[in-house]
Chain A
Amino acid sequence: MRLLFLRIIVAGFTLAISFTSAYAIEIKEVTSPGGIKAWLVENKAIPLIAMNFSFEGGSTSDPAGKEGTAHFLTGMMDEGAGDLDGAAFQALRDELAVRINFDSGMDQFEGSLQTLSKNRAQAFDLLKKVLTAPHFEKTAMERVRQQFLVSAINDEQEPESLASRAWMELAFGSQLYARKSSGTPQSLAAITPDDLRAMHRLLFSRKGLKVAVVGDIDAASLALMLDDVFGGLPDTEPPKPVSGVTVAKGPVVKVIDRDIPQSIIVFGNEGILRSDPDFIPAFIMSEILGGSGFASRLTAEIREKRGLTYGIGFGLSPMDHAGLNVGSLGTRNEKAGEALAIVKDTLKKMADEGPTQAELDDIKTYLTGSYALRFDTNNKIAGQLLGIQEENLGIDYINKRNSMVEAITLDQVKAQARRLIDSERLIVTVVGKPEGLKSTGTGG
C-alpha cells in the first residue's frame, strides 16, 4: 500500500467533517405519525437498506471513575433483548445477515443497521428490542468486560493510542474531553449492570435522536417503522455534561519513552467548531496544509522531498464544544527532532504567507470534483446524511456545498491560516526514543 495515514487521532473523536457537496440525490424528510423525523434517500437498485442514527450524548456522560461506560454499552447491545436471550438474539441476527453496530463518541452515541430489504421487518424488530429492552445479564457482562479489558491493556502499549491519549490530556487537562472514551483497565473493572442501565436510560431518548435511511424502502413504510422502532423510547432531555471547554496552549513537548524503532509524533493546537462561520475557508486551508491527497504541503515536505515518513496528516477535528487542529506522523527515532522542525517550518510558512492562488484553485477542483465519491454506496450516503444532521447544516447543504467552496477567496484562506496556525505554541506528544526531542513546558 502506498499510503496509509496514521490513525489521526484519539479515541472517541468523530472526524465529523460532514463536508459533502452538490450531487444530485433527492433527500426526503419523513415525519412519522408519532412525530419522529428521518432523512430518506430511496434507492431500489439493490435489495439493501442502510440506516444510521444517533443520540445526543456519549462518553462525556460517563460517571467519574467509570470511564468507558457508554463504550461498554456498545458491547452489550447484542447480548440479549426483549424475549431473546443473547444466544437467540445473535443466532437470529446472523441468520438474517442483519448488521447492527453501535459506537460511542465523546458527544454522540451512534448506531447503524444494514439489512437485506426482504428481511426488513425482522431486522427492525431486532433493533427495536435492542433499543428499548436490552438485557444487561451478568454473565454476558463479565465476558464483554474481559474483551474490553484486553483491548484497554493493549492500548496502554500501542504507540499511536498512547500518543493520542497523552495529547488529549495535555490539551484538555482535567476536563471531560481528556478522558479515554473506551475506558482504562481500572475504570472498566468498576462498571456495574446498574451503571449500564442508567447510561441506557440517559442516552436513548427521542429528543436527542437523528435518523438517516438509504436504500430499498419508501417513505410510507419508513414512517411506520420509525414509530415502531423508536416510538417506545422516552422523550427526556438529552444529557449536556460539557460546557465552557478550554484548550491549553503550548509550547509543550511530552516524550513517552518506548523501545520502538519509529517515533510516533502527535502535534497540534486549538481549532474551531463546525458551526464557526469561517469553517469552510479554514477547512480549505487545512486541506492544503495536511489533507489526505499526495499534494499537501506536509506530505510534500516530510515524505516526498525527504523520505522522513510513510504517512503524515493534519487537519481540523471539531467536536461539539471544542475544536482542534491535530496532525500526526511516524519517523525513525534518529530523525524525530528534524522531522518536527520541518513540520514547524511548514506550519509557520502557511501562517505567514498562506497558500498560493494556484494551490487554492487546485484544492477547489479536488474538493468539488470528488463530491460524488462520498455518495457511491448506501452506507456512505447514510453516514453523510447523519453527519449533516448532527452538525445542523440543513437538508439543502449537499446542493449548496460546492458553490460555498467555489466562493472562498485567497484572502479568506490566508486569514484562517493566520488565525489558526501557531507553530510556536504547539502541543506535541512523542512515543518512542526520539533523538533531538525531550519533554519541555507544561502548557498553559
Chain B
Amino acid sequence: MRAVKIAVLQLALIMLMVLPVRALDVEISNFKLANGMEVVVIPNNRAPVVTHMVWYRVGSADEVSGKSGLAHFLEHLMFKGTSKRAPGEFDRLIDINGGEGNAFTTSDYTAYFQRIASDRLELMMELEADRMQNLVLTDENVLPELDVVREERRERTDNDPSALLGEQIDAAMYTAHPYGKPVIGWMSEVAKLTRADAMAFYRAHYTPANAVLVVAGDVTPEQVKVLAEKYYGVLKNSFTPQPRVRTPEPDPIAARRVTLIDARAASPAVQRSYLAPSYSASTGHEALALDLLADILGSGTQSRLYKSLVIDQKIAAYAAAWYSGDQMDSGTFGVYGAPNPGVDVAKVEAAMDAVLADLLKNGVTQQELDRVRNQAIAERVYTLDNQAALARMAGVALTTGLSARSIFDRDVEIGKVTLDDIRAAAARIIVLKRSVTGVLLPEPQTLN
C-alpha cells in the first residue's frame, strides 16, 4: 500500500495550500437605474467579446393555474417582432453582426442573451429595450410557434422516459406550490395557450423595474452605465412589481413513490428527492452544508455512494447525489442509482438507504468535509475562464432573491461550514416523509 500512503501525504500538503485562497476574485459593479432596473457589470477583458443578458423576475411558478407553459411560450414569442422591428429582423440583426443569441426559462426567471463583439453592445441594448415594451404579436406567427413549443415538449420530454419520470417526481413533490408544474407546461394546457394569454402575461411582468441587466466581458462599468441609461433608463414602468408570493408548500407528511413502467426505457434507475430549502429561502449555512453534503455523498469516485454501491458492492454502474438550491422558494436534495445489468433496482435502493442511514447515525468526518470543501473552492477558479458563466451566476442570484455579491462570495462562506452544520442539515432534510422516490422500470415483470 505504498502508493496510497504517498498520495495521502501529498493531499495533506495541498490542503494547506488551497484553504486560505479566495478562488473567485471577481470585481463586479451593481447599481440601479432611476426606473428601478438593476444592472450588474462584470469586466473581463480576455477577448473583445461581451455577454449581454436581460433577465425578468418571472418564471413558470408565476403562471396562473391552468396556463402552464405560458412563461416559456412568451420567451419564444419575444423574437416575433415589435412596433419598430419586423418579425425575423431581431435574429437577422444579431446574425449579420456576428452575434449569437438565445433565451431560457425556469420556474423563477426568464432570460435573454447575446454574445457578440464588444463594439456591438449598444445595438443589443437598443434591441432588448425595444422588445421590453413594444412587442407585437399576430396569430400568423403565434400559431406556428405554439406548434414549435409542442415539438420541443415531445423532443425533450415525451420522447424520453427519464424526463417523464422527472416530471412526475416534481408533480408529486409539490402538493400546493407551483414548482410542481413543468416549465414547458403540460401538453393539454400548452395546446390551449393563445396570443391573448401571451400578451397579458407580457404586460403583467415585463417592465424595467422587474428586469435585471447583466453585462460581462470586455467593457467597463462606466461604458455600460452610459449605454444602459440611454436605452433602458428612459423606459417608463407600466406597473410596480409586487413581491413574488407563491402558494407555500405545506410541511410534507408522507413519503411518496412514483413508478414509471415504460417499454422505451432500456435500463432501470432509482432516484429519491427530498424537499429542502434553497439558498434564497434558508438561513445560516444550511444550503452550503447541503451542497457539501451532496458532494460527500455522491460527487465523484471518492463519494460514499459511489464507493459503496459501485466499487465495494458492485451492484450499480452509477451512483450520485445532488443538491439543487438555486430556486427562490425551495430546493431539492437527492440521490440516484443505476443498477448494473441484471441487478434488481430494489437492491440498489436498499443500498442507498443503508448509506443514508449510516450518514444520519455517524455523521461525516472532518477529512471528508475538508476534501470536498477544498475541491469546491479550487473548482470555482475555472469559472474565471468563462464570462458567460459569470454573467449567469449574477443573473440567477438577482432573480431568486439573492445579491450578486453573495454568490461570488460563497467560497469565503464555504470555509465556515462546520461538521455540526452538516449533521443538522442532514437530520432535518434526509427524512423519508419529505421525499419522493422515483423508479424507472423497462418491463413490468421486474416490478416485484
B is bound to A: yes
Binding site for B on A (CB under 8 A): 1-4, 6, 23, 43, 45-48, 50, 78, 83-92, 94-97, 99, 114, 116, 118-119, 122, 142-143, 146-147, 149-150, 153-159, 185, 258-262, 264, 293-295, 303-311, 330-332, 362, 365-373, 375-379
A334 to B264 alpha-carbon distance, docked (Å): 20
B424 an interface residue at 8 Å Cβ cutoff? Answer: no
Tell me the smallest distance from the CB of A260 to a CB of chain B, in Å.
Answer: 5
A143 to B4 alpha-carbon distance, docked (Å): 20
What residues on B are CB-neighbors of A23 within 8 Å?
Answer: 47
Assuming the contacts A262-B155, A295-B91, asked whether A95 and B98 have C-beta atoms less than 8 A apart, the reply is no
B409 an interface residue at 8 Å Cβ cutoff? Answer: no
A97 to B76 alpha-carbon distance, docked (Å): 39
Tell me the smallest distance from the CB of B242 to a CB of chain A, in Å.
Answer: 28
Assuming the contacts A92-B7, A330-B155, asked whether A308 and B98 have C-beta atoms less than 8 A apart, the reply is no
Tell me the smallest distance from the CB of B21 to a CB of chain A, in Å.
Answer: 9
A78 to B301 alpha-carbon distance, docked (Å): 10
A44 to B190 alpha-carbon distance, docked (Å): 50
B267: which of A6, A150, A366 is its contact (CB, 8 Å)?
A150
B347 an interface residue at 8 Å Cβ cutoff? Answer: no
Is the CB–CB distance between B146 and A307 below 8 Å? yes
From B228-236, B383-391, B395-403, the one touching the partner chain is B383-391
List, sorted by A's number, 19 A–B pairs whose CB atoms are closer than 8 Å: A2-B76, A4-B156, A43-B46, A45-B46, A83-B3, A83-B6, A91-B11, A94-B302, A95-B371, A97-B379, A119-B14, A122-B14, A150-B267, A157-B264, A310-B155, A311-B155, A369-B96, A373-B98, A376-B49
Is the CB–CB distance between B7 and A293 below 8 Å? no
Binding site for A on B (CB under 8 A): 2-4, 6-8, 10-11, 14-15, 17, 45-49, 75-76, 79, 88, 91-92, 95-100, 102-105, 115-117, 143-152, 154-156, 158-159, 217, 263-267, 300-302, 310-311, 314, 317-318, 338, 340-341, 371, 374-375, 378-379, 381-382, 384-387
Is the CB–CB distance between B103 and A2 below 8 Å? yes
10 smallest CB-CB distances across A and B, nearest first, come from A369-B98, A307-B147, A307-B144, A97-B378, A88-B7, A262-B154, A157-B266, A370-B98, A376-B47, A310-B152
Is the CB–CB distance between B311 and A1 below 8 Å? no
A307 to B96 alpha-carbon distance, docked (Å): 24
What residues on A are CB-neighbors of B88 within 8 Å?
Answer: 294-295, 304
Query: For A85, A91, A332, which residue has the most chain B Cβ atoms within 10 angstroms?
Result: A91
Assuming the contacts A4-B156, A95-B375, A97-B375, asked whether A310 and B98 have C-beta atoms less than 8 A apart, the reply is no
Is the CB–CB distance between B96 and A306 below 8 Å? no
A259 to B161 alpha-carbon distance, docked (Å): 12
Q: Tell me the nearest residue of chain B to A47, going by C-beta.
A: B381
Is the CB–CB distance between A150 and B318 below 8 Å? yes
Is the CB–CB distance between B14 and A48 below 8 Å? no
Tell me the smallest distance from the CB of B32 to a CB of chain A, in Å.
Answer: 28
Is the CB–CB distance between A258 and B6 below 8 Å? no
Assuming the contacts A262-B159, A330-B151, asked whether A369 and B117 have C-beta atoms less than 8 A apart, the reply is yes
Is the CB–CB distance between B145 and A307 below 8 Å? yes
What residues on B are CB-neighbors of A258 within 8 Å?
Answer: 264
Is the CB–CB distance between B375 and A373 below 8 Å? no
What residues on A are CB-neighbors of B3 within 8 Å?
Answer: 83-85, 88
B96: which of A310, A362, A371 is its contact (CB, 8 Å)?
A362
Is the CB–CB distance between A295 and B92 below 8 Å? yes
Tell me the smallest distance from the CB of B254 to a CB of chain A, in Å.
Answer: 32
A97 to B104 alpha-carbon distance, docked (Å): 30
Is the CB–CB distance between B99 and A87 below 8 Å? no
Is the CB–CB distance between B267 and A1 below 8 Å? no
Is the CB–CB distance between A153 and B148 below 8 Å? no
What residues on A are CB-neighbors of B264 within 8 Å?
Answer: 157, 258-260
Q: Given A146-B317, A308-B147, A373-B115, list of 14 further CB < 8 A pairs?
A: A2-B79, A48-B382, A84-B6, A89-B7, A147-B318, A154-B266, A159-B159, A259-B264, A293-B95, A294-B88, A304-B88, A310-B152, A365-B95, A369-B96
What residues on B are CB-neighbors of A78 within 8 Å?
Answer: 301
Tell me the smallest distance from the CB of A31 to a CB of chain B, in Å.
Answer: 27
Is the CB–CB distance between A261 and B159 below 8 Å? yes
Is the CB–CB distance between B375 and A94 below 8 Å? yes
Q: Tell me the nearest residue of chain A to B184, going by C-beta.
A: A1
Tell me the smallest distance from the CB of B173 to a CB of chain A, in Å.
Answer: 23
What residues on B are CB-neighbors of A158 within 8 Å?
Answer: 266
What residues on A are CB-neighbors of B341 within 8 Å?
Answer: 146, 149-150, 153, 185
Tell me the smallest distance from the CB of A175 to a CB of chain B, in Å.
Answer: 27
What residues on B are CB-neighbors of A260 within 8 Å?
Answer: 158-159, 264
Is the CB–CB distance between A304 and B144 below 8 Å? yes
What residues on A are CB-neighbors of B46 within 8 Å?
Answer: 43, 45-46, 376-377
What residues on B are CB-neighbors of A142 within 8 Å?
Answer: 314
Q: Tell me the nearest residue of chain A to B266, going by C-beta.
A: A157
What residues on B are CB-neighbors of A307 within 8 Å?
Answer: 143-148, 151
Is the CB–CB distance between A150 and B76 below 8 Å? no
